[in-house]
Structure 1
């Protein structure tokens, strides 16, 4: 059944990208409960076993009651993000300031769709939505600290790289072309309507609010849309590059490239398969940020990299010369 979003002229000018640590926290909780997603995140799951075992009081049941496989999820618990530089602290503060009556209706709808309204925990949420918001926000914060925060530099780097890539595609193919590329279940009618092939039927006129486009790691491979008024319409799509997200840094930096540039500098160049920040590269390579920053400056001065600011981050990516050099060296057979 179709899920459709209707654009007016103003909406076409008000589409923007964003990322959300709060959304990733919710989707990480959902991933723990859905074995069909585990294959994408096995190294992360293995690392988590110890952390979850050490905190045996951490129970995600209240959140899982509000996560139907099909149907409404409570927008009040993960409102559309502020922008590409939103922090978890900013986002959870918005959850805590939600009107309890608005939250009650939101929670009731999600519980009904999940078929969990008769659970004692569900009845308690609806009887006192203000308290429910406080307790759910506290649980979400614990989930953030345990599931996401230790890996957030890596996750954020991948999400920012996705936004940088799709921003370039927007400039190259326009909004219509970009929307078609985000996911095979999305279809643009060529004039004003975006359709998502979905299990539920829904239509929303954007009415000048525009559309937030948000990549996600833990929603992968699904595409999600929704967010009823007063929330801004949002389309969550699977981020590019998760195949290498949890991989360890390659130890096979070409020897010839290491002799040419120096070992660490060559590793920095080879690590930039996708745009990344200094902090993300330092985390990925196990190096001090100051050391990575110095190498990035040299590579940029040699026209092997370019940099640009995105939100609060400076992202680095290879130039055509840098791509050619890394690719040629990687393809070169070892000397005998």
Structure 2
């Protein structure tokens, strides 16, 4: 490897690509949907309550106080980092849990990697999330979409999560929205769907 660095880098890149296609690519639509939903949720937290609300809901190990980010960890000894205006990149991940991973050494962008919201239910089959009564009322696909909508999501994200065609998901969403169980709002180039109070009550059995 040291004798021919260029060849070693090429070989590592090839192995990384193979690993991606074998281990990650088959589930990437589902993973990406979860990550995008987390980013949308965190963006709303930041817009509604600033950094205090964002970090208060992010992870117990993270705390934002008077312009200082504190990360509690049992692995890294206590230390202080001055970011010199470089900011902090917050990155959701499905591969870290329950702790956070951080890196602040220059010249890299200071980064905090945290478990994405909802990662605990990532591998549950969507239909298993819906109660039998809800399935009988709405049908399996609509019940799965409604009960699995823990955070706002787009048609594309829901199609990937439930392994359905986007056109089918769009039709289901239209029915659920017409029934008053979902609402929609535009965020950037996406339309996000979320449960209404009626939808929440129906899923919760209230």
TM-score bracket, shorter-length normalisation: 0.7 to 0.9
Whether 1:217 aligns to 2:94 is: yes
Does the Cα contact within 8 Å between 2:94 and 2:115 map onto a contact in 1?
yes
Q: Return the offset for 1:235.
A: 0.8
Distance 1:242 1:153 in 2: 14
Unaligned runs of 5+ in 1: 1-123, 332-336
Q: Return the offset for 1:311.
A: 6.6
Does the Cα contact within 8 Å between 2:127 and 2:141 map onto a contact in 1?
no
1:194 alignment partner in structure 2: 69
Q: Which moved more, 1:309-318 or 1:144-153?
A: 309-318
1:237 alignment partner in structure 2: 114
Name which one, 1 or 2, has greater alpha-carbon Rg: 1
TM-score scaled by length of structure 1: 0.53
- Name which structure has the greater RCO, CA cutoff 8 Å, separation 6+: 1
Structure 2 CA distance for partners of 1:302 and 1:139, relative to 1, 3 Å: same
Q: Return the offset for 1:264.
A: 3.5
Distance 2:191 2:25 in 1: 20
Distance 2:90 2:182 in 1: 27
Structure 2 CA distance for partners of 1:170 and 1:249, relative to 1, 3 Å: same
Structure 2 CA distance for partners of 1:302 and 1:209, relative to 1, 3 Å: farther
2:148 alignment partner in structure 1: 271
- The one of 120, 127, 133 equivalent to 1:255 is 133
Q: RMSD between aligned alpha carbons? A: 2.7
Does the Cα contact within 8 Å between 1:304 and 1:320 map onto a contact in 2?
yes
Whether 1:164 aligns to 2:40 is: yes
Whether 1:173 aligns to 2:49 is: yes
Whether 1:300 aligns to 2:177 is: yes
Does the Cα contact within 8 Å between 1:219 and 1:238 map onto a contact in 2?
yes
Distance 2:173 2:111 in 1: 35
Aligned residues between the structures? 203
Distance 1:211 1:320 in 2: 35
SS of 1:219's equivalent in the other structure is coil
Structure 2 CA distance for partners of 1:213 and 1:139, relative to 1, 3 Å: same
SS of 2:70's equivalent in the other structure is strand
TM-score scaled by length of structure 2: 0.81
Q: Return the offset for 1:151.
A: 0.6
Q: Return the offset for 1:148.
A: 0.9
SS of 2:81's equivalent in the other structure is strand
Does the Cα contact within 8 Å between 1:258 and 1:265 map onto a contact in 2?
no
2:11 alignment partner in structure 1: 135
Structure 2 CA distance for partners of 1:276 and 1:177, relative to 1, 3 Å: closer
Distance 1:291 1:153 in 2: 17
